[in-house]
Structure 1
Amino acid sequence: MSDALKQGAMQIVRRLCEAGFEAYLVGGCVRDEQLGRPVKDYDIATSAHPDQVQRLFERTVPTGLQHGTVTVVIGKKPYEVTTFRREGGYEAFRRPTEVEYIDSLTEDLQRRDFTMNAMAIDQNGHLIDPFDGLKDLERGVLRCVGQAEERFGEDALRMMRCLRFASAYGLMVEQATWDALNSGISLLRHIAMERIRAELERMLGGSDPNRALELLADSRALRHVKQELLLSKLDKETEWPPLSRLTEMEHRLAFIYIRLGADPAGVEEDMIKLTFSRQQMETVKRIVAAHTVLVSGLDESPELNGEPYLRRIWIAAALNYGVSALRTLREIYLLEDAPIWTDNVKVSRAVDVWRKLGCVWLEQMPVSALAELAVGGKELMGHLGVKGGPWTGRLLHRLLESAALGELRNDKETLLAAAQEHYDKMQENDE
């Protein structure tokens, strides 16, 4: 895939050079190639102006003319071709107020964020590296191009990118760059929350989420964003088990919220502020809610939380929040030998049982949703000869729980007989 992608990119570079312009591969594709990592897309920088690029290629899309960018389509693959440029002042610590076209590659590379992103490859495949990006990569160092204060002052989001690159590529942040990040971190309040979320998502979903958490805690970046977040409580003292054992970003996030002691409402508020999708929020919230309900269920139990009781509340949680949320919760519990987020012995013992048996119990459930129940609301009303009401849902849920626990067989006769009994009791209690 990457070969065909690169061939298309080189075709564009050569075409521009043949027409008398300069053109190079630039940015992330050069960096990833040097590291032997897969390249997702190739970007091209050229001395040709957008209108000249449009005239040279058959299929182009004017994607970012105000920034000097034209998308050239080769085969079915889009490539961004951007004119060498110098940026004037910046507004809102994010966007350049004016863009001036220039004809110097070095000056174009100079406006980029980090040395490893300021390398280029010419039409013959030679590396052009005026700021020693390759040497920095070999030393495992992330360094700003030129003055770090200036780079971060131009675009404050670069500070979040700094943390992301350091965690994703296993790099140490060079001291002057780190100092500039710490002194400029409050500029993050100018950055839209969705941009913060995009960086956070990639950091936590990346190859080394633990390093990401460490950098977020050390820089206290999340204390300086536009809106107050529960996630800003991340601190250096917290020790984290290897989060990469959880495959999904949402599952890692759920664990982080559990460790921070968040409740489902707090999680929802945080994730709305961060512009996560509703689906992502529901996934995280269900896991946190199941955990909250399980742990609070322990305090209400008069008996000593024996296995039958622990099974009952585990299965009830699976019916309320979904089997997949409970499977994930068990994986979260398995991350640590003992749950370091609690010093409550009762909770620790219960978690130990859920780790050992939670999966088995889920496998054994004969039914896990109302749709699988052998009777529905209409049949209940018909059998009992009563009009539907709030009682219908309550009764169905009661039957579902009994069937899921294996206390009742999931067949029509058994369930209708049990329904009659429950309904009579409900009537007595209401009287």
Structure 2
Amino acid sequence: MEQRIIDAGKSVLQALETAGHSAYFVGGYVRDTLLKRAVHDLDVATSARPEEVVRLFDKVIPTGLAHGTVTVVAGGVPVEVTTYRMETGYQDHRRPDQVFFVRSIEQDLARRDFTINAMALGLRGEIIDPYGGTEDLRRGIIRAVGEAEARFQEDALRMLRCLRFACQLGFAIEERTLSAIKRQAQSIKYIAVERINAEWRKALDSSGPDRAVSLVCETGLIPYLPGLNRLLADGGCEKEAMLPLSRLSTLVERWAYLFVARGKQEEVEPVLRELRNEKAFIRACAETVALVNVFCQSPDDSKLQLMMLEYGFEKVARAYAVYGVRSGEEPLAVEPGKLYEKMEIKKMNELLINGADLQKALERKPGPWVRDLLLRLARDVNAGQILNEPHALLSRARVVVDEYT
């Protein structure tokens, strides 16, 4: 995290203390600072009521006033400030029925999900840790604050968050916490699909993606997770089969591997749509799976060059990585990167004619034939059969068209 953001947060703490209130950094900032990990979030909790915070600072945005949260803009940096609070009643397994403000940081920490997230850090480095979060960090344990089952009844998404933290940090899940997830698994159905997908993506994108798969199966969450229940049910959680996931670097590659490993290539769009993924992401995963299927047919150099011209090197390399870890061996005699280096035409805009040139020279209307012919010409240039020169390219184009008309 940039030092200016941390400095802005400290200035907010200082101003609150000077005004007679207590204030602390809370949440992920404290946890990751103690772990010496990169910090991405900075949140402040204070004894000051929202209206007191609004009066104290020049620029305040009332982002969640009803729940005690405002955003203080300090030195151009937005800092989220929330009044110490407690919550009661969670009829929908998501949101509290009632929120009321308290004056003690210890009371505020009592409502939080896990001990490693229930610590506060003061301006002078003092740590408020009523639930043993620092010790759990040292031991590498994810443990619920108080009664685990009560925490998951309050917000069922916490079960997936538990799994996600375990995968991101490489921590074990404390036995009672894990047992509570198994007992409460079905309540995840009350959670919005978008929230489920956000947590699952973070888990799959973590350093332990194979563990993410095994944990959603082990805990019994799978039947209640949209999309994933179709993909991973019925024997889709074999640990050995999921181990290669960690060898793939991107979320698209890992999702593609899941579909290929499960033999459910046709399910890409239905599953990812059910999880409310964005269209561009679904398209990227579908393209990757389709290209993996091409690699299964052991394409020759000519076909591989056409793939890289049509889809781009990055997409082909991504699919090649998935196929490589799935097959356990190099699928081709020449890997795409080495072949790509030798290609004179690496991108279609490097060809010295375009679609308009073809239409004019051949006196034909636009259509799919234009891109097909340009790809053929680019392939012929790369094969050394013609020069990348307008006259030579148009002459070859006329010959090709005559062959098929």
TM-score, length-normalised on structure 1? 0.85
Alignment pair present for 1:137 and 2:137: yes
Letter in 2 for 1:417: S
The Cα shift of 1:179 comes to: 0.6
User: Which segments of 5 or more consecutive residues in structure 2 lack a partner in the other structure?
Assistant: none
Match of 2:287 in 1: 286
**Alignment partner, residue 328 of structure 1:** 318
Letter matched to residue 302 of structure 2: R
Note the C-alpha offset of 1:410.
2.6
The SS at the match of 1:144 is coil
Q: Are the structure 2 counterparts of residues 80 and 383 from structure 1 closer, same or farther at C-alpha, using a change threshold of 3 Å?
A: closer
Q: Given the alignment of the two structures, is residue 377 of structure 1 paired with residue 355 of structure 2, yes or no?
A: yes
- Alpha-carbon distance in 2 for matches of 1:51, 1:71: 12
CA contact (8 A) 2:227 2:272 kept: no
Deviation of the 1:225 alpha carbon: 2.1
Fraction of identical pairs, as percent? 37
**Equivalent residue number for residue 99 of structure 2:** 99
Structure 1 stretches of 5 or more lacking a match?
299-304, 341-347
Distance 2:144 2:373 in 1: 64
| 2:252 matched residue in structure 1 | 250
Q: Are the equivalent residues in 1 in contact too, given 2:310–2:375 (CA < 8 A)?
A: no
The 3 A distance-change label for structure 1 pair 275 and 321 is: same
User: Taking structure 1 as reference, are residues 26 and 252 closer, same or farther at Cα in structure 2, changes over 3 Å only?
Assistant: same
Q: C-alpha displacement at 1:152, in angstroms? A: 0.7
Counterpart residue type for residue 272 of structure 2 = M
Aligned partner of 2:398: which letter? Q
User: Out of 363, 369, 374, which is 1:396 matched to?
Assistant: 374
Residues 93-242 of structure 1 aligned to structure 2 (within 5 Å): 93-227=93-227, 230-233=230-233, 234-242=236-244
- Flag the 1:208–1:72 CA change in 2: closer, same or farther, 3 A: same
Assess if the C-alpha contact under 8 Å between 1:254 and 1:288 holds in 2.
yes
SS in 2 for 1:95: coil
Tell me by how many angstroms 1:319 deviates: 3.0
Report the equivalent of 1:5: 5
- Cα distance, 1:385 vs structure 2: 4.3
TM-superposed CA distance for 1:178, in Å, is 0.3
How much does 1:24 deviate? 2.1
Matched, 1:275 2:281: no
CA distance in 1, matches of 2:384, 2:92: 61
Paired residue type of 2:102: I
With 370-379 and 67-76 compared, the bigger mean Cα shift is at 370-379
Of 232-241 and 160-169, the range deviating more from structure 2 = 232-241
1:409 partner SS: coil
3-state DSSP class of the match of 1:240? helix
In the TM superposition, what is the alpha-carbon distance from 1:194 to its structure 2 partner?
1.5
Report the 3-state secondary structure (helix = DSSP H, G, I; strand = E; otherwise coil) of the residue aligned with 1:103.
coil
Q: CA RMSD in A?
A: 2.5
Describe how 1:67-86 pairs up with structure 2 within 5 A.
67-86=67-86
Higher mean alpha-carbon deviation, 3-12 vs 152-161, is at 3-12
Residues 298-324 of structure 1 show CA distances to partners (whole Å, capped at 9, x for unaligned) of: 3xxxxxx6xxx6222322322332221
CA distance in 1, matches of 2:363, 2:10: 77
Task: Report the counterpart of residue 263 of structure 2 in structure 1.
Answer: 261
Partner deviation per Cα, 1:18-41 (whole Å, 9 max, x = no partner)? 323232222211111221223223
Partner of 1:302: none
Task: Say whether the 8 Å CA contact 2:23–2:122 is kept in structure 1.
Answer: yes
Distance 1:179 1:192 in 2: 23
| Offset at residue 388 of structure 1 (A) | 4.8
The Cα shift of 1:290 comes to: 1.0
Deviations 1:91-130 (A, max 9, x none): 4211112211122322211110001111112343221111
Q: 1:164 deviation in Å? A: 0.7
CA distance in 1 between partners of 2:83 and 2:356 (Å): 68
Cα drift, residue 393 of structure 1: 4.2
Q: Identify if the C-alpha distance between structure 1 residues 214 and 226 changes in structure 2 by more than 3 Å, giving closer, same or farther.
A: closer
CA contact (8 A) 1:373 1:400 kept: yes
Give TM-score scaled by structure 2 length. 0.90
Equivalents in 2 of 1:116, 1:391: separation in Å? 60
